[in-house]
Amino acid sequence: MLFSSNTTDVNQSTLTVTGLGSFTTYYFRVGGTNWNNVNNYLSAGSTRTLAGAPPVNPIISAVYITSITASWTLVSSTMGYKVDASTASNFTGTLFSSITTSTQSAVLSPQSLSANTTYYLRVGAVYPGTTSYANTVPSSLSTLTNLVSAVQIYQVFGTSVTLNWAGLGAGNAEGYQLQASTASDFSGAQFSSSTPDVNKSTLTLTGLSGSTTYICGWEA
């Protein structure tokens, strides 16, 4: 494809060619134009244009057990977007990537991540031959733990309730938190109990009111 720029000012010695693609090599020639509008060209060499802009304001917008979602503000002239997740801050480790060719997509979620693991994320705008990256804010975040299992209400007293569960084990969680509320959406008064001991499998909520129904929730 040919791109050109011209001028009738014979005293001008600079011209700019616009409309070129990002990160693409172009060959140039320049020539004088005679009375018959014929150009006498001389090769001016070649150069590669710079990559386009990276996505604007990329953020981590959601976190799950095996995926993390990034979102951003769209940029122009891109061919699509790519989100990389890695346990290494310099992205030299195993990469988990999600790619879209939609230039109007502003959300991607790398999949198959490990639970309770910190990943660094970057978002890239794809151009011919390259990708322009920007790190998300925050630059890293941990995936959620797996759900605890075999949760049961173990004992109920006048002002306390004890629950137990099957522990997730070392390396799979950093601790546990038990919550109770009189509202099913946990918008009411809340009571909580927590432990950093991942081998523990029992927590007790105290300070509850007698003869009151509570909804219990669980975090690891």
Nearest 5°: the CA angle 17, 56, 53 is: 25
What's the confidence (pLDDT) of residue 218?
A: 62
Radius of gyration of the chain (CA): 29
User: For 83-116, what is each residue's pLDDT tens digit?
Assistant: 999 999 999 988 999 999 999 999 999 999 999 9
- Residue-range definition of the domain harbouring residue 110: 56-142
CATH code where residue 91 lies: 2.60.40.10
Count how many domains the chain has: 3
Q: Indicate the pLDDT class of residue 208, thresholds 50, 70 and 90.
A: confident
Percentage above 90 pLDDT, the chain: 60
Neighbour-count burial of 15, counting CB atoms closer than 10 A to its CB (0-12 exposed, 13-18 middle, 19+ buried): exposed
What is the value of pTM for the model shown?
A: 0.78
Which residue has tokens 């604007």?
56
Alpha-carbon span 9 to 18, nearest angstrom = 19
Q: Please state, rounded to an integer, the average pLDDT across all residues of the chain.
A: 90
- Same domain? For 70 and 109 the reply is yes
CA dist 172 to 37, 96, 197, 217, Å? 75, 20, 12, 19
